[in-house]
Structure formats: structure tokens, C-alpha cells
Amino acid sequence: MWIDTHCHLDAAEFDADRDGVVARARAAGLTQIVIPAVEAANFDSVRLLAIRQGFAYALGIHPLYVMRASEGDLAVLAEALATHHIDPRLVAVGEIGLDFFVPGLDAATQQHFYVEQLRLAKRFELPVILHVRRSADQLLAGLRRVGFTRGGIAHAFNGSEQQARAFIDLGFKLGFGGTLTFERSLQIRRLAASLPEEALVLETDAPDIPPQWLYKTAGQRAAGATARNEPGELPRVAASLAALRGWTPERTAAITTANAQEALQRLRGLMGVSGTG
């Protein structure tokens, strides 16, 4: 069985065939998908989608959305967590974090929303799902500043080995997905091959971060080609991890599933629980 620890199943890219996407994922052996919110406006849609499909969800404000967020959005998050914090499908606060790759994002604003959301996660005793893009050291500093000890997942990790081990020491697992499948992703593949096995979880970030077999060049994209990722691609991504580690598919599934359940502990109670739709 497989767990996709990060999939934006609510994204507009899936509006035309979302049920088909879920059916293909289940046929590929996925037993659970974590759907993270990105802004207050999609908290309810993410939660209801997770309930309908029998999946898990996280609530948070993504760093790419904080420039249009307000203090009122933090209040909405606090209220949502207060209302739903005992919901077994609510497994984390996320997707939250820092992004110092995309231009035009104010660092101070990002830091404010990140720290305040860490404080909410600490208050409601939930792990976090972190967006990490050229921001690992600053994220680690924020975790230490808040005294956050609930752990979670460093999503789409692409930092150094030293940074990876710092997250691990703070109780985090590291998310690996489509980028792992590219032979030129030397650092990511090196980390996936060498880090402790108990630190690794799998994700797709669908519809984003397509694996190598779905990737389109800039020229192809300019000509109209699309490269939508799907959660059903996870077992093929896992095959790349298995090849790097010398594992069987069965061992890869067992290890990454156990790691996901340790990072997001409410997942344990959801295994085998179906949705209402």
C-alpha cells in the first residue's frame, strides 16, 4: 500500500475528472492521500473533499499566498483548527513555510505567517507540512524559535545533507517525489539514497512536479503540451527510490507508509476507512 503525503487534489486541474484521478490512484495501490490547503478560501473545499473521498487533509496558508492574506486569515485558520482539531482526517497544519525562490514575496510577511502558523500548530498539538524552497535554514530557525516539537514533513526537500539531518533531528520526515526520477537531480537522488530509511516519505505534489516520464520541455509547453501529475504516479516514483536504495517494491511501500504514519500520526487511524462519496 502507498501513501501520497502531498497532493493538491482540490486543484482546478482535476475539476474535469477528479473521480477518475482517484480511481486510478486506488487502482495503483494508494490507500491514503493527504490534501493540504493553501489559503483560507479553500479550507472548507479541502476538508469536504477529503471526507468525500476518504482521505486526509491539512489546513494552512501557503507562502505563495501570504501576500494576499491578512490577519483575518490567521483568525480563520485558528477558528478552523479549533472547530476541527479533533477530526481524525485533519492530520497537520499545512502547507506552510517560506519560499525565497519566487521573486516579489516579502520575506518579513512570509516569516510572520510562518511563525504564527507554527504557534497555532503547537497550540493544537498538530504536526506541520512545510514548504521548503531555498529556505531550509530560516525554517529551522523558526522551529527552534517557537519551540516546535510536533514534527511533520519537509515537503519536496531539496536542501543539503546537513539541513536534512537538522530537520530529522527535529522529528521531521523528508518528502521525495517527481524530482527524484530525473537522473540530473544529483543532490536529491544522493540524499534519497543515503539518508536514514526512517526519514523518507513519498509524495507527488500533483498536479505539480511531474516525474521524468511526464515532463515537457519549455518548447513543448509553449506549443500547448501539458504535464499534469497525478497521485497514481506514486508507485513509479517509488520505483526510482527503490532502485536507489536496493529495495523491493514491497519493502519500499512498507517503509514509506510506516514513516508517513509516524510523521502524521492520525493516518494510522484512517487506514482502511473509506469516504462518504
Total number of domains constituting the chain: 1
In eight-state DSSP terms, residue 208 is: S
**DSSP secondary structure letters along 5-56:** S---TTSGGGTTTHHHHHHHHHHTTEEEEEEE--SGGGHHHHHHHHHHHT-E
The residue type of 231 is P
99 assigned to some structural domain: yes
137 assigned to some structural domain: yes
277 assigned to some structural domain: no
**DSSP secondary structure letters along 134-164:** S-HHHHHHHHHHHT--S-EEEET--S-HHHH
Residues 260 and 92: their CA atoms lie apart, in Å, by 12
118 assigned to some structural domain: yes
Q: Are 27 and 20 in contact (CB under 8 A)?
A: no
The CATH number of whichever domain residue 169 belongs to comes to: 3.20.20.140
156 assigned to some structural domain: yes
- Tell me the residue range of the domain where 199 lies: 2-270
276 assigned to some structural domain: no
Instruction: Output the known binding site for a divalent metal cation.
Output: 6, 8, 95, 131, 155, 205
275 assigned to some structural domain: no
55 assigned to some structural domain: yes
Q: pLDDT tens track of the chain, all 277 residues?
A: 999 999 999 999 999 999 999 999 999 999 999 999 999 999 999 999 999 999 999 999 999 999 999 999 999 999 999 999 999 999 999 999 999 999 999 999 999 999 999 999 999 999 999 999 999 999 999 999 999 999 999 999 999 999 999 999 999 999 999 999 999 999 999 999 999 999 999 999 999 999 999 988 878 877 777 789 999 999 999 999 999 999 999 999 999 999 999 999 999 999 766 565 4
Instruction: Output the known binding site.
Output: 6, 8, 95, 131, 155, 205
Cα-based distances in Å from 244 to 44, 111, 183, 234 = 39, 35, 11, 16
pLDDT of 271 reads: 78
